Structure 1
Amino acid sequence: MIVTGLVLAGLAAALHVYIFWLESFAWTTRARAVFGTTADQAAATRELAFNQGFYNLFLAIIAVTGIVLTLLTGASDDPSPAGASLLLAGTGAMTAAAMVLLVSSPDKRRAAVVQGTLPLLAVVAVTAALLS
């Protein structure tokens, strides 16, 4: 089950790196189509999006660090406490952020589901592996 959690956490991290790129570097170009903003809205929120993009990058880095530590210590039956902790911290925060988006902006339900499904499944898989 830990391998499943590692794969899901890796996919969630990759998605959050993509979101980082969109928000931090493509906000006034490609991201406008993804987020449905006008040129004026994108220009007005560029600095906020740039900062928010880095939050997504940092969550991905935490999850990837957890993956690496888990793999370095033998991912089989007994993942390292540090690796598991970082996996759960990164993917748990990703899940929580998706829930905040869902609750605060119900019209962005699809984005919240896309952003939160992989990390939620990773949390479930890693927790199941730790409890077994």
Structure 2
Amino acid sequence: MLIVAVVLAALAALVHVYIFVLETLRWEEPRTRAIFGTSERDAAITRPLAANQGVYNLMLAIVTAVGIALVWANPAAGFALLFAGTASMLGAALYLAASDRTKLRAAATQGLFPLLAIATAIPAAAIG
């Protein structure tokens, strides 16, 4: 079960690295604007806000990745970081879903892997 949890947490981290790239490095590109439903003008105005949000997503991915790296060598620290990262990702996805019903697909994309990682990590943490 631990391997499954780690793979799911890694996938969650990769999704959040991708979101970082979109929000920080590619925010004003037409394909990214289409994904987020923003106009060229709105993207230019919101660029600093999006970049800041992108950095948050990157930090969640890093916390999760460090947790993955530590989970075998130091299970207490590894699981703590893995749960902190994935639970924060899931919390953000739930907030997105609750605050804007038109963003349910984005919320599912952002939250599915963290939810599954948490669900599979809980029994692994209890054993380990």
TM-score bin, normalised by smaller chain: over 0.9
| 1:12 corresponding residue in structure 2 | 12
Please, which runs of 5 or more residues in structure 2 have no aligned partner? none
1:14-53 matches, within 5 Å, as 14-29=14-29, 30-53=31-54
Question: How far apart are 1:50 and its partner, in Å?
Answer: 0.5
Are 2:76 and 1:86 equivalent residues in the alignment? no
| 1:2 corresponding residue in structure 2 | 2
Distance in 1 of aligned mates of 2:82 and 2:68: 7
- The size of the alignment, in residue pairs, is 126
**1:72-118: CA deviations, max 9, x gaps?**
x1xxxxx6100000000000000000001001111100000010000
Question: How far apart are 1:41 and its partner, in Å?
Answer: 1.1
1:65-84 matches, within 5 Å, as 65-71=66-72, 73=73, 80-84=75-79
Tell me how large the CA RMSD over aligned residues is. Answer: 1.0
Find runs of 4+ consecutive structure 1 residues off by over 2 angstroms: none
Distance in 2 of aligned mates of 1:127 and 1:103: 25
Question: How far apart are 1:131 and its partner, in Å?
Answer: 2.6
The percentage of counterpart residues that share the same residue type is: 49
| 1:76 corresponding residue in structure 2 | none
| 1:54 corresponding residue in structure 2 | 55
| 2:64 corresponding residue in structure 1 | 63
